[in-house]
Chain A
Amino acid sequence: MKVITALILGFNYFVGIYYSFFNIIYSVLLCISLIVIIKYIKRLRYAPVREINYSPETPPVSILIAAHNERDVILRTLESVFSINYPFYDVIVINDGSHDGTLELLIDKFRLKRIDMVYRNILKTAPVKAFYYNPEMPNFLVIDKVRSGKADSLNCGINMSRSPYICTIDADSIVEPDALIRLMIPVIESPVPVVACGGVVRVLNGSTIEKGIVKEIGLPEKGLIIFQIVEYLRAFLFGRVGWDALRSILILSGTFSLFNKNAIISAGGFHTRHLAEDMEIIVRLHEYHRKNKKPYSIKFISDPICWTEVPATLKALARQRRRWHMGLMQTIIEYRKMIFNPFYGRIGLIIFPYYLFFETLGPVVEFLGYLIVPASYFLGLLSLDFFFLFLLLAIIYGIFLSTTGIFLEELTYRRYPGWDHLVRLLLFGILENFGYRQINSFFRFQATIYYLCGKRKWEHVRKD
């Protein structure tokens, strides 16, 4: 009994220290983001958006859209992609074995004709069945291939791309007209080669779309989606902005990112058996460039925006979060040699340990905390006052983090213009800490168990 008591007591201390560290890191990130993002907004006054749009020196980009059963949304996405402001770009849709008529819809809508093209497997992929294009739209190509997943489809698009840069966009997303130009600014202006650059992903559900452009930004009725809006604001506006300021970006969203094609090919392309191919490729780019002593930079910027659908049901959310967490674990385990390895600089010494101890193991500690801390109280190891105070601190700090994301949005881009938007977002920022956060932790804890039991499969997410 003494041993158990000692263990429980020890765990309580551990939770306290762990939680303090976690909050200190978040507070530091928050301060950095606040300074950086406000300065960045002011800098936008003289951003060379127009210059890049009209310059013949702007590098061409291939926009890659992997589509599996996206019949309902693909035309909307293409409409948005074809209305972007960018001087030289082509669009490659990779139909990844859809059986809902996605390909037929594209053929019909764009009057595509089959064309024989040489397919060179620079990055090895599943077989390609056919190519379709319309001579009147020379910047549009559809590749029909055997089903092999998103990563393999993107590799297939890379093989067919003739541009030095590729931009990955999800088939259910809407890109803002200037988003690609804004993503290209750091690539053009940075003296160090930018091999990857990511923008902000925002929640599309609830907004009105007209001709491929988000016409009116709104909030949906479903609380589950508003929770995700609050979560996305926090993750993108202060999480990633902060890490970018520390030059330690480890994740760029696959929904909307720009890559140097040669860098991707040199690093071996997207990993086809990974559950989070977008995180894995960033880690591999870090590893490849460090190993080969090549100068490089990976950037995140907060003004290019891509709107995407998020899961509207708890079941779909569970699938998505489990996949993300398993992908994170997979990457951390595969690249474990980078952890605390000074060869990888701040990636090995700061960001990787952070992702291991706080992002990967966080749900486990949190879940155990929910069991052991109340147990400590019942065993008389914790005073009721202290227990409630600690709980209060956890909740208030959680509310602080959630609402700060919303305040950052208010101070900077303010895309949610209505007073009702602000009130509802703040309300959900508070409510997030009473259920939604715990549910999310549970999904991530579940993912840890699945991963350890070997149930590592891609769970398809249906976004209604």
Chain B
Amino acid sequence: MIQEVIILIVSLIVFLILVFFLIAVLRRIRSARRYKELDRTRAYYLPVIQDGLEKGDIISIINDLIAEPVSIKFKAIEELLFKLKERFPELVKELFVRLGYVSFYENMLYDKNMINKATAIDRLGEIGLETSVDKLSQMLKSDNREIISVTVRALSNIATLEALALILDYLPGLFERWLITRKGIEAALLKFGDKGSALLIQYGKTISNPKIIAIILDTLSHLNNNQAIRLAMDNLNHPDPEVRAKSLKVIERFSDLLNGKDMEKILSLSKDPAWFVRLHVAKILGKVNGKRDVAGYLEKLVIDENWQVRNEAASALSKKAEVGLDLILKILKGKDRYAIESLCEEIERTALCRVLIYNLTSPDREVYKKSREILKIMNNLGFSTPLMEYLQKGDEAIAMELKLLLSEKAA
């Protein structure tokens, strides 16, 4: 009995191996033929379509291009149209409509197979017709997370204000119920570009969900609409720290537009309990010039309890020649090892190091003394590579000074 069972299993396995082998061989043959035909069709129709598009005359080529859906010709022409879409966007869109691609994919939206449905949504997004927005809006009512995710992406590819308004309408649900990721939503919103920014600002004023405000602010921080700074200033004291941080991110982009009152509000966040809020304050302080004396704030942030904040503050400080050498010296003479090392590293990375070296021949004795002291401390802490490098190929007078400075360490 057992022997018979084993023989049966062996036969079954051999049969399966043969079936798999047969499938593999047949698929290979079929694919080879298909790809050959596809290549041939593409090569034949590319000049035809290109010529028609260049002449702006698509009527004369339509009859030649019409193909049965799912045929090789249909696939080949679709690929060619997508390839030429960037050069001739409007004409290609019209061809997609006239050749039946749009209606084909719109019908496919009601396919029961989820993958086919998602493919149709994606293609309609790629084609980018404004008229598809209405059909796609139905897909946002789906119960499938993947369908919703692809629909949001497709709408962002169409990138009309109507599509944006639709996404914004569904945004709370997308985020809370369907768990469409934050990165996914932000990437989609960004595709609307600057033209969507006014609508985003408007929307940002009307909503209360802190997670969504943060998404809107984050998106605005990548766009060029300076009106966003007002929305950001309004949310600067929001109870949610993430909203405050994202507001500062927007402000950082438009820091040139800040007035004294705005700066007051921003500086008050240098004591914020959330470290990532303080981090953004440090970033802004590194960018603003002459708005007000920010040295005292930077001095505090350089010894912040969080290393990312200290790092950013040190970086900001190294960019600010106007802050003066006094503050740098004060920190370098302090006890906070982390702040000292961060500052030295930033000085070495930035142009400030060169400035300090050139200051060694400065006629201003104060500048000379302070620069020399900073370099000496850096050298003592092991940040001496730029000094050594300068010594080898730099100006002779400075090299003499550097030699002396380096020998002091040795002594």
A interface with B by C-beta (< 8 Å): 39, 42-43, 45-46, 48, 51-52, 55-59, 113-118, 120, 188-191, 385-386, 389-390, 392-393, 396-397, 399-400, 403-404, 406-407, 410-411, 414, 419, 422, 426
Contact at A57–B186, with CB atoms within 8 Å?
Answer: yes
Cβ contacts A to B, 20 pairs, < 8 Å: A39-B115, A45-B115, A46-B150, A51-B153, A113-B389, A117-B345, A118-B344, A188-B187, A189-B181, A389-B10, A392-B6, A393-B10, A399-B17, A400-B13, A403-B20, A411-B23, A411-B24, A414-B28, A419-B28, A426-B21
Contact at B28–A191, with CB atoms within 8 Å?
Answer: no
- Interface 1/0s, chain B 166-200, versus A by CB < 8 A? 00000000000001110110110011000000000
Contact at A45–B187, with CB atoms within 8 Å?
Answer: no
- Interface 1/0s, chain B 5-42, versus A by CB < 8 A? 01101100110110011011001100100000000000
Grouping DSSP codes into helix (H, G, I), strand (E, B) and loop, the A interface class, with mixed when no group exceeds half, is: helix
Contact at A116–B183, with CB atoms within 8 Å?
Answer: no
Residues of chain A contacted by B10 (CB below 8 angstroms)? 389, 392-393, 396
Not counting A46-B119, A46-B150, A48-B153, a sample of 20 additional A-B residue pairs whose C-beta atoms are within 8 angstroms of each other reads A45-B115, A46-B121, A48-B187, A51-B187, A51-B191, A52-B187, A57-B222, A114-B385, A116-B384, A116-B385, A117-B345, A120-B307, A191-B145, A191-B180, A385-B3, A389-B6, A396-B14, A411-B24, A419-B28, A426-B21
Complex Cα spacing A116 to B340, Å = 13
Complex Cα spacing A397 to B9, Å = 9
Top 8 closest pairs, chain A to chain B, by CB: A191-B179, A46-B122, A55-B187, A410-B24, A118-B341, A407-B20, A116-B383, A57-B186
Contact at B14–A42, with CB atoms within 8 Å?
Answer: no
Residues of chain A contacted by B384 (CB below 8 angstroms)? 116
Residue in contact with B2 in the complex, picked from A57, A117, A386, A403, CB distance below 8 Å: A386
Tally of A-B residue pairs with Cβ under 8 A? 107
Closest to A117 in B: B345
Residues of chain A contacted by B6 (CB below 8 angstroms)? 389-390, 392-393
Residues of chain B contacted by A43 (CB below 8 angstroms)? 115, 118
Contact at A115–B27, with CB atoms within 8 Å?
Answer: no
B interface with A by C-beta (< 8 Å): 2-3, 6-7, 9-10, 13-14, 16-17, 20-21, 23-24, 27-28, 31, 115, 118-119, 121-122, 145, 149-150, 153, 179-181, 183-184, 186-187, 190-191, 218, 222, 307, 341-342, 344-345, 348-349, 382-385, 389
Contact at A188–B184, with CB atoms within 8 Å?
Answer: yes
Residue in contact with A407 in the complex, picked from B23, B122, B349, B385, CB distance below 8 Å: B23
Query: How far in angstroms is the closest Cβ of chain B from A127?
Result: 13
Complex Cα spacing A120 to B349, Å = 17
Residues of chain A contacted by B184 (CB below 8 angstroms)? 188-189
Query: How far in angstroms is the closest Cβ of chain A from B105?
Result: 12
Contact at B187–A407, with CB atoms within 8 Å?
Answer: no
- A411 touching B27 in the complex, CB below 8 Å, given contacts A55-B187, A393-B6: yes
Residue in contact with B222 in the complex, picked from A56, A115, A117, A188, CB distance below 8 Å: A56
Residues of chain A contacted by B344 (CB below 8 angstroms)? 116, 118
Contact at A397–B115, with CB atoms within 8 Å?
Answer: no
Contact at B190–A56, with CB atoms within 8 Å?
Answer: yes
Residues of chain B contacted by A46 (CB below 8 angstroms)? 118-119, 121-122, 150
Complex Cα spacing A403 to B14, Å = 11
Which residue of A120, A404, A410 has the most chain B CB atoms within 10 A of its CB atom? A410
Contact at B122–A45, with CB atoms within 8 Å?
Answer: yes
Residue in contact with A188 in the complex, picked from B7, B183, B191, CB distance below 8 Å: B183
Contact at B14–A189, with CB atoms within 8 Å?
Answer: no
- A389 touching B119 in the complex, CB below 8 Å, given contacts A400-B13, A407-B21, A422-B24: no
Contact at B16–A400, with CB atoms within 8 Å?
Answer: yes
Closest to B119 in A: A45
Residues of chain B contacted by A414 (CB below 8 angstroms)? 28, 31
Residues of chain B contacted by A397 (CB below 8 angstroms)? 13
Closest to A133 in B: B349
Complex Cα spacing A407 to B16, Å = 11
Complex Cα spacing A56 to B118, Å = 25
Closest to A51 in B: B187
Residues of chain B contacted by A389 (CB below 8 angstroms)? 3, 6-7, 10
Residues of chain B contacted by A419 (CB below 8 angstroms)? 28
Query: How far in angstroms is the closest Cβ of chain B from A444?
Result: 25
Contact at B23–A116, with CB atoms within 8 Å?
Answer: no
Complex Cα spacing A43 to B190, Å = 24
- A386 touching B3 in the complex, CB below 8 Å, given contacts A42-B115, A400-B17, A407-B21: yes
Closest to B126 in A: A46
Residues of chain B contacted by A188 (CB below 8 angstroms)? 181, 183-184, 187
Closest to A193 in B: B181
Complex Cα spacing A392 to B180, Å = 51
Query: How far in angstroms is the closest Cβ of chain B from A181?
Result: 12
Query: How far in angstroms is the closest Cβ of chain A from B1?
Result: 12
Contact at A404–B186, with CB atoms within 8 Å?
Answer: no
Contact at A59–B222, with CB atoms within 8 Å?
Answer: no
Query: How far in angstroms is the closest Cβ of chain B from A62?
Result: 16
Residues of chain A contacted by B383 (CB below 8 angstroms)? 116
Closest to A429 in B: B17
Residues of chain B contacted by A115 (CB below 8 angstroms)? 348-349, 385
